[in-house]
């Protein structure tokens, strides 16, 4: 079976409208949208930064910086500018300045992240949920991150939000130092974060102040430490395999 194809490659106005409608925010970012540059927080040696057990990956000589996206200046592109302006107005109505509540605004790979100071987290979340121009009714969970090199803000909690009303998405991110791992709970604003905050507490040790029952959810209640932290020992148990004893990862021979 054969198909005849037209040689006419003229782009119609309808095609342009379709392209604009499906491009998303990343399709409308201005060319000068480069932000203030990456924020370098450390240097990684080897592919995975493993220390203590020897490098067997073949990438032991690899040295590269550990960096986070820097602050992005306005305009942000797409609906992001409208969203930030609406948040500014909503916070102003309750006596909070956007610049006071947010540490920085980052647009990276077509996604908007609001880095919120932890003392303003609940206020920002309520504004995002309740303001008619925002209406982020759904919090999709809480993810913990441990940046061991990010001194003074090692622990991060990330909240992806979705507006069902406006079909928009954004991300909130809040940080806390390892020495004071307290972040306000969003349970009263988004009750669906109940188990997500418990899991983040279990694996990363972030204490969500105001949570109704902040207990471990996966590890035993008497477990020591938080397994998803970067400084948590690999541990493991001896394994027998066809008569050979396989030691835990942190006890294996290093091939340098």
Q: Reply yes or no on whether the pLDDT at 159 is more than 80.
A: yes
Average pLDDT value for residue range 224-252: 75
Q: Among 26, 107, 97, which Cα is nearest to 69's? A: 107
Cα 77 from Cα 92, distance rounded (Å): 23
Whole-angstrom Cα Rg for the chain = 23
Q: Reply yes or no on whether the pLDDT at 19 is more than 50.
A: no
Torsion of CA 76, 82, 85, 90, to 10 degrees: -140
Cα 210 from Cα 62, distance rounded (Å): 44
Q: ω into residue 251 within 30 of 0, thus cis?
A: no
Residue 210: half-sphere exposure toward Cβ, Cα within 13 Å: 13
pLDDT at 42: 81
pLDDT at 56: 65
pLDDT at 5: 43
The helix/strand/coil state of 119 is helix
């Amino acid at each position: 079976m054969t198909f005849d194809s037209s040689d006419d490659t003229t782009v119609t106005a309808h095609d342009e409208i379709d392209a604009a409608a499906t491009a998303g925010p990343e399709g409308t970012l201005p060319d000068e949208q480069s932000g203030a540059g990456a924020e370098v927080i450390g240097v990684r040696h080897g592919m995975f930064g493993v220390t203590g057990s020897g490098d067997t990956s073949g990438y032991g000589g690899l040295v590269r910086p550990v960096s986070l996206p820097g602050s992005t200046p306005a305009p942000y592109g797409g609906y992001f500018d409208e969203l930030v302006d609406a948040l500014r107005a909503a916070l102003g109505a309750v006596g909070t300045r956007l610049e006071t509540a947010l540490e920085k605004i980052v647009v990276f790979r077509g996604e908007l992240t609001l880095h919120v100071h932890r003392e303003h987290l609940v206020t920002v979340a309520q504004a995002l949920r309740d303001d008619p121009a925002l209406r982020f009714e759904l919090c999709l969970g809480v993810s913990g991150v441990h940046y061991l090199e990010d001194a003074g803000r090692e622990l991060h909690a990330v909240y992806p939000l979705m507006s069902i009303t406006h079909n928009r998405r954004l991300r909130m991110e809040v940080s806390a130092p390892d020495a004071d791992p307290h972040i306000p709970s969003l349970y009263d604003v988004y009750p669906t974060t109940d188990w997500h905050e418990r899991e983040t507490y279990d694996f990363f040790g972030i204490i969500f102040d105001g949570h109704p029952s902040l207990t471990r959810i996966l590890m035993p209640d008497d477990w020591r430490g938080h397994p998803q932290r970067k400084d948590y020992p690999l541990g493991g148990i001896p394994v027998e395999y066809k008569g050979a004893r396989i030691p835990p990862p942190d006890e294996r021979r290093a091939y340098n």
